[in-house]
Amino acid sequence: MTMTEELTAWSWEQKCRKAVTALEANGFTALYCNTPEEAGSYIMKEAGNARSVGFGGSMTIVGLGVEAQLATAGKEILNHANPSLSAEEKQIVLRRELTCDLFLCSTNALTLGGELVNIDGVGNRVGAMQFGPKKVIVVAGRNKLVDGSPQEAVQRVRTWASPPNAKRLNVKTPCATTGFCSNCNSPERICRVVTIIERKPRLTDLHVVIVNADLGF
């Protein structure tokens, strides 16, 4: 690692740790991980007593590679993104994810003040983050951090997360073609539900893991 890379990693670590401190002050269980592998190990440890594990359609979680490990460990996998599911089966899985033992997802943005900011098309992910599953683990790469207000975090989502997600989902929206948000009124618009979690929801065991690496969008 070059000196520039070392200093960049150090600088990001300070920001990550600041967000962890803010999250803890806001009532969340929060953890800093230096690598994605550390985050994956934490998930596997926390999944020990879980029988069912739901997935919130997160590229961050996909990148950790934990789904196969959890399946090997005998967990029931609830992943509505499984391409083998029919439309009806997908709806069933989406609803079961809301009451699973462990729900895994990411956040679209995380302020240094410890607030989780998300934009959903259906609302299943943000719904599960707030209430339903016995435990929720949110994994956020350093690229999700926003040194600003929740409103600035929303702008980060619209600018940097929604266009590539729209293209990934192959929806017919302007941003999936241009790469820029136009606040469209497309029938397939994926920006429909905006949530800001300012404090840990009272009845949800919500963990936030911040990783010193770029993960997801």
Asked, for residue 153, whether it belongs to a domain, the answer is yes
Burial state string for 12-46 with b = 16 or more CB within 10 A and e = fewer than 16:
beeebebbbebbeebebbbbbbeebebbbebbeeb
Beta bridge partners of 206: 136
Q: In which domain, by residue range, is 165 found?
A: 3-211
Asked, for residue 217, whether it belongs to a domain, the answer is no
Low-confidence ranges of the chain (pLDDT < 70): none
Provide the pLDDT for residue 1.
84
Provide the pLDDT for residue 152.
98
In whole angstroms, give the CA distance from residue 210 to residue 139.
Answer: 6
The answer to whether the beta carbons of residues 192 and 121 sit under 8 Å apart is: yes
Asked, for residue 216, whether it belongs to a domain, the answer is no
Contacts of 18 (CB under 8 A, 6+ apart): 112
Asked, for residue 159, whether it belongs to a domain, the answer is yes
Query: Residue 214 to residues 64, 139, 142, 145, 205: CA-CA distances in angstroms?
Result: 12, 11, 6, 10, 25
Provide the pLDDT for residue 11.
98
Asked, for residue 203, whether it belongs to a domain, the answer is yes
Asked, for residue 98, whether it belongs to a domain, the answer is yes
Contacts of 3 (CB under 8 A, 6+ apart): none
Domain count, the chain: 1
CATH number for the domain that contains residue 70: 3.40.50.10420
**Helices within the chain (DSSP H only):** 3-25, 36-46, 59-64, 66-72, 87-97, 124-130, 150-156, 162-168, 174-178
Provide the pLDDT for residue 184.
97
Whole-model pTM: value is: 0.97
Provide the pLDDT for residue 8.
96
Provide the pLDDT for residue 120.
98
Any idea which residue has 């994605």 for tokens? 36
Contacts of 9 (CB under 8 A, 6+ apart): 1, 212
**pLDDT tens for each residue of 61-95:** 999 999 999 999 999 999 999 999 999 999 999 99
Asked, for residue 195, whether it belongs to a domain, the answer is yes
Asked, for residue 54, whether it belongs to a domain, the answer is yes
Provide the pLDDT for residue 41.
98
Sign of CA dihedral 169, 175, 180, 185: negative
C-alpha 35: how far from its chain's center?
Answer: 16
